[in-house]
Amino acid sequence: MASKEVKPTIAGLPATLEAHKDRWGNWICTLTDKTEFKDVWWVVDHLYLFKSDALYLHYTLPHNVKGLENLLHEHNFVFHSAFDNQWIWYVWKNRTKPCKIPEAAVSILGVTALVVSSNGRFAVVQEHDKRKHGSWGPCCEDEKDGDFYFRFPNKETGVGKYKLVSGAVDRGEAPPDTAAREIHEELGIPKTLLNMVNPRIITGGYIQRNARPGKIADVFLPLIIPMEANVDEEGLITPFDESMKPFMATPERPEIHSVQWLSPIEYHAIPPKHFLGNTCDTIDAHLEGKNQLVTVESRDGKWKF
């Protein structure tokens, strides 16, 4: 009588997690809707039990594990890819071999930063038409169905729709660091004016499809970044940081055409069609208080950006 195949198991694995091996012998750990922070912490604290070169972590958005992405980043997990609401991270455990995990060809992790001043105004930007500046090319034959018709509707002025500060996360970079870098590049605001101690993530996250040539799906993590300064109706920032002088002298950047600091009343007076993609969803969620703290419950109680 043939014996039944015995599936490999991980001793002590929390019941709220599922684990199996792929065809290359690497472990895949999947979060369920009952997974808690302590369960994921158990995984990162017991990596030695997963006898394989790499460990993958799969989960579906939205999830209930607060601080999950920061915890994974702190413990050397790397964001790999996403499709629909499925996110995949991995950690390469074999230090005697070079990492053999291929880079994802279909997904880029990015950050959308909603910068909010002390008096409640938030920044939106308008980009130049990158077709005219030579940065990107058309992503399809029919521009009316493509990304550039959507982003840059005004062919006379070459100015895009209102959007939030955003950009791709560089390899090895934490998402809050990406937000601070992009804020400085697009708004000219130094990190010294930003409250990076307790950034908040807007509940939900979203995928923007066909955001780049080749139909790559960009996955954005929307963060609220408080700015410890006031902004008046003319866009004057107080207190004023001396490092902002060069930016204010030439406010039109190679990528950014203009910056507007909107109050909630001014925002609601602008028709949604003038905002790019999910921008209104993100701003509306902020105004409705749909956000949570980005925190990590590490052993020493600290979180370093």
Higher pLDDT, 144 or 124: 124
CATH architecture of 17-92: 3-Layer(aba) Sandwich (3.40)
Give the tokens for residue 107: 């997904």
Segments in the chain forming alpha helices (H) = 37-45, 68-74, 130-133, 147-151, 175-187, 245-249, 264-268, 279-287
The distance of Cα 86 from the centroid of its chain, to the nearest Å, equals: 14
Cα separation, 109 vs 207, in Å, equals: 10
44 pLDDT higher than 90: yes
Give the closest residue to 244 by CA, choosing from 233, 229, 226: 229
Cα separation, 271 vs 253, in Å, equals: 26
Q: Identify the pLDDT of residue 31.
A: 95
Give the closest residue to 167 by CA, choosing from 247, 104, 108: 108
Higher pLDDT, 158 or 66: 66
Domain boundaries, the chain: 17-92, 107-293
User: What is the 8-class DSSP label of residue 151?
Assistant: H
The reported pTM is 0.57
Q: What is the mean pLDDT of residues 24-33?
A: 92
Q: What number does CATH give the domain 107-293?
A: 3.90.79.10
Check if the beta carbon of residue 190 is closer than 8 Å to that of residue 277: no
Q: Identify the pLDDT of residue 278.
A: 80
Q: What is the 3-state secondary structure (H, E, C) of 182-250?
A: HHHHHHCCCHHHECCCCCEEECCCEEEEEEECCCEEEEEEEEEEEECCEECCCCCEECCCHHHHHHHHC
Q: Identify the pLDDT of residue 211.
A: 47
Q: Identify the pLDDT of residue 130.
A: 53
Please write the tens of the pLDDT for every residue from 160-213.
789 999 888 887 788 888 999 999 988 889 888 998 876 677 765 454 544 444
Please write the tens of the pLDDT for every residue from 62-93.
888 888 988 999 999 999 888 768 899 999 99
Give the tokens for residue 280: 């209104």
